[in-house]
């Protein structure tokens, strides 16, 4: 993967000028200004000392989307395929959060696959439905697209890193409209929080035709030995994956290495959320009626404070 940071910055300036001419057309697109985004729950972590339910969603993901103007619906585990399908046609986008469950045998994997297949079909039928995979969610997307697990172990637990942007990043949908100072910060400051054991190496991505044809690589990183993909977007679908955690910058407070709350780290959090919520605004699914919608929303649940030294400061528990 080529690293062309200074070249990229020049392109960014040029592109910024171009974009200002594209904007009027863009803003005339009809938008759904009341988007509701599903966040997938998962089986509890083994290391969670006092779970108050059999599955959970870390509250940071909920706040992350709410801060950008979306409402959230939890997608609980163990429902029937038909219930997930109904939910799919009620929501405007899906966030696959980070976590620790198995990418093939967990409920998380099962449900992600149901939504992924529905989303591919919807988008093929001009029903715009975005998916945002963070960390485990990124890894899950690679398994869903390729049909196999080609991830490899990396030393990337608790490390903040700058992104090595590819030359494609500047014309990408995801980064294309980011302000220049934020792109500069992302390229030079340790503001992307990495908490993953597994990664998609550039080598394995390049060797897998399904992944190569589906995703455009926007940034890479390395653990010193293995170069891996840190941000990607699908060529033809509004599907996005980041191996790093934008939501932690603003909403997680465990005092660990890799965590940054600097002004540019916060900007990275909010600009990524803003981008995704705007993608969800292009979808027009809706709940059958207001009662259905009210019952589904996250407001029916109370997050539990897990302590300042917990990896997730608050969790939502289900069932
Ligand atoms: C989901 O199903 C599994 C297996 O049947 C069960 O062990 C687990 O407790 C269930 N979880 C929920 C949230 O219903
Ligand atoms: C490539 O994928 C295989 C699994 O198919 C995995 O065992 C291997 O570690 C990966 N290698 C790299 C360099 O990513």
pLDDT digits (tens, 9 = 90+) for 110-139: 999 999 999 999 999 999 999 999 999 999
Point out the ligand nearest to the CA of residue 76: 1
How many Å apart are CA 283 and CA 32, to the nearest integer?
7
User: Per residue in 26-58, pLDDT tens?
Assistant: 556 799 999 999 999 999 988 898 999 999 999
End-to-end CA gap in the chain: 45
pLDDT at 22 over 90: no
The residue whose CA is least distant from atom 5 of ligand 2 is 150
The dihedral region occupied by 194, where left means phi > 0, alpha psi between -120 and 50, and beta the remainder, is beta
Of the candidates 214, 218, 281, 274, which has an alpha carbon nearest to the alpha carbon of residue 244? 218
State residue 16's pLDDT score.
Answer: 45
Please state whether beta strands 93-96 and 36-40 pair in parallel, antiparallel, or not at all (unpaired): parallel
Q: Is 135 a catalytic residue?
A: yes
State residue 144's pLDDT score.
Answer: 98
How many Å apart are CA 32 and CA 96, to the nearest integer?
21
State residue 8's pLDDT score.
Answer: 52
The residue whose CA is least distant from atom 5 of ligand 1 is 78
User: Per residue in 259-309, pLDDT tens?
Assistant: 999 999 999 999 999 999 999 999 999 999 999 999 999 999 999 999 999
Of the candidates 92, 103, 169, 160, which has an alpha carbon nearest to the alpha carbon of residue 137? 103
How many Å apart are CA 246 and CA 64, to the nearest integer?
8
3-class secondary structure, 154:
strand
State residue 24's pLDDT score.
Answer: 44
Q: For the chain, give the longest Cα–Cα distance.
A: 54
CB-ligand 2 contact for 54 (6 Å cutoff): no
CB-ligand 2 contact for 188 (6 Å cutoff): no
pTM of the complete model beyond 0.75: yes
Point out the ligand nearest to the CA of residue 80: 1
DSSP 169: G
Which domains, ranges and CATH numbers included, belong to the chain? 31-318 (3.40.50.880)
Rounded to an integer, the average pLDDT of 73-88 is 98
Ligand 1 centre distance from Cα of residue 157 (Å)? 29
CB-ligand 2 contact for 184 (6 Å cutoff): no
Ligand 2 centre distance from Cα of residue 207 (Å)? 10
Place of tokens 């699908």: 234
Ligand 2 centre distance from Cα of residue 177 (Å)? 34
User: Per residue in 154-194, pLDDT tens?
Assistant: 999 999 999 999 999 999 999 999 999 999 999 999 999 99
Ligand 1 centre distance from Cα of residue 318 (Å)? 11
Of the candidates 155, 87, 112, 135, which has an alpha carbon nearest to the alpha carbon of residue 272? 135
Percentage of residues in the chain with pLDDT exceeding 90? Answer: 90
Per-residue tokens: 105: 């045998």
CB-ligand 2 contact for 208 (6 Å cutoff): no
CB-ligand 2 contact for 145 (6 Å cutoff): no
Sign of the Cα torsion 136, 138, 142, 144 reads: positive
State residue 28's pLDDT score.
Answer: 62
User: Per residue in 167-177, pLDDT tens?
Assistant: 999 999 999 99
CB-ligand 2 contact for 150 (6 Å cutoff): yes
Q: Is 245 a catalytic residue?
A: yes
Point out the ligand nearest to the CA of residue 56: 1
Distance of CA 40 to the CA centre of its chain: 11
Rounded to an integer, the average pLDDT of 94-104 is 98
State the catalytic residue, choosing from 19, 196, 245, 261.
Answer: 245
């Amino acid at each position: 993967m080529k690293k062309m940071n200074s070249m990229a910055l020049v392109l960014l300036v040029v592109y910024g000028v171009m974009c200002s001419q594209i904007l009027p057309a863009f803003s005339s697109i009809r938008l759904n200004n009341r988007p509701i985004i599903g966040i997938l729950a998962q089986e509890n972590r083994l290391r969670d000392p006092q779970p108050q339910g059999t599955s959970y969603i870390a509250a940071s993901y909920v706040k992350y989307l709410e801060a950008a103007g979306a409402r959230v619906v939890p997608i609980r585990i163990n429902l029937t395929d038909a219930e997930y399908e109904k939910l799919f046609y009620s929501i405007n986008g899906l966030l696959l959060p980070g976590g620790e469950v198995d990418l093939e045998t967990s409920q998380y994997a099962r449900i992600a696959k149901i939504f992924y297949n529905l989303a591919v079909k919807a988008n093929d039928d001009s029903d715009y439905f975005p998916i945002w995979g963070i960390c485990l969610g990124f890894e899950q997307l690679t398994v869903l697209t390729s049909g196999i697990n080609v991830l490899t172990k990396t030393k990337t637990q608790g490390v903040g890193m700058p992104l090595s942007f590819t030359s494609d990043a500047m014309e990408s949908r995801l980064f294309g409209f980011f302000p220049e100072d934020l792109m500069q910060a992302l390229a030079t400051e340790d503001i992307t929080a990495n908490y993953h054991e597994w990664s998609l190496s550039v080598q394995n991505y390049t060797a897998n035709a399904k992944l190569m044809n589906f995703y455009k690589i926007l940034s890479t990183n390395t653990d010193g030995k293995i170069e891996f993909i840190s941000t990607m977007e699908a060529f033809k679908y509004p599907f996005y994956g980041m191996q790093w955690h934008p939501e932690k910058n603003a909403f997680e407070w465990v005092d660990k290495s890799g965590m940054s709350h600097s002004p540019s780290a916060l900007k990275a959090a909010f600009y990524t959320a803003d981008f995704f919520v705007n993608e969800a605004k292009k979808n027009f699914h809706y709940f059958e009626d207001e009662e259905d919608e009210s019952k589904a929303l996250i407001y029916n649940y109370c997050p539990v404070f897990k302590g300042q030294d917990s990896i997730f400061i608050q969790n939502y528990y289900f069932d």
